[in-house]
Structure 1
């Protein structure tokens, strides 16, 4: 019985190592005219919300996970410009990108499985 449990435990450990060992980088980017000030909200790899008030653009953050996928969500609103864009890139591929040109610009990007 102990031998069976030991073998099963080792097999699970190896499978988790194979499928969970690759780091998957995801990049959130907010861009606009240089010097633009924006309030930014995003979701991290654990699904926790974060808020950054008064960020100077361009702004970006790299989130690295070993999970097979994650939900990507970022939004921003400018304080002093009318152009604003966002981009979510995962594994070198742009998953979502949006751009707006309006007063007090607001933009969001969302990816169900980055």
Structure 2
């Protein structure tokens, strides 16, 4: 009998502790009222509609220029356009709260520019004059 008690006392204590803890937690839920959820629609915050953001990427330069263009789409996923004819533009419309707009282009001319327009306002613009010009524009939070 003594051997049985020495072998089973730890599991018995663990069961007693688990049951005691469960009973204590269930009683505390009732004391603090955490199980009483009352929904009052008049006290809820009004849902504010987010106005759509209109982002336009533009690449410009001399007529007849072609360029490789890399940009971030509305989900911040990279996209690439090979041998795009300049001038080039791409519109994005989204309702997400913040958009990162980034565009990089390299062309086969001596001049190349980029522009990012957000809701009709030019937010970034750069014109580069160099051999096989490369340009980049970035708007961190549109």
Under a length normalisation based on structure 1, what TM-score does the superposition of the two structures give? 0.84
Match of 2:79 in 1: 50
Greater Rg over alpha carbons, structure: 2
Does residue 38 of the first structure (1) align with residue 63 of the second (2)?
A: no
Q: Which runs of 4+ in 1 moved over 3 A?
A: none
Does residue 100 of the first structure (1) align with residue 103 of the second (2)?
A: no
Distance in 1 (alpha carbons) for counterparts of 2:41 and 2:94: 28
Match of 1:110 in 2: 138
Distance in 2 (alpha carbons) for counterparts of 1:19 and 1:99: 37
CA apart distance, 1:51:
0.3
Distance in 1 (alpha carbons) for counterparts of 2:38 and 2:62: 64
**Correspondence 1:63-74 to 2 at 5 A:** 63-74=92-103
> Going by fraction, where is strand more abundant, 1 or 2?
1
For these two proteins, the number of residue pairs brought into alignment is: 106
CA apart distance, 1:68:
2.3
Distance in 1 (alpha carbons) for counterparts of 2:119 and 2:106: 26
Under a length normalisation based on structure 2, what TM-score does the superposition of the two structures give? 0.68
* Gap runs ≥5 in structure 1: none
Higher normalized contact order (CA 8 Å, seq sep 6+, divided by chain length): 1
Q: For the aligned residues, what is the CA RMSD? A: 1.9
Distance in 2 (alpha carbons) for counterparts of 1:61 and 1:2: 49
> Going by fraction, where is helix more abundant, 1 or 2?
2
Distance in 2 (alpha carbons) for counterparts of 1:70 and 1:45: 7
Does residue 19 of the first structure (1) align with residue 49 of the second (2)?
A: yes
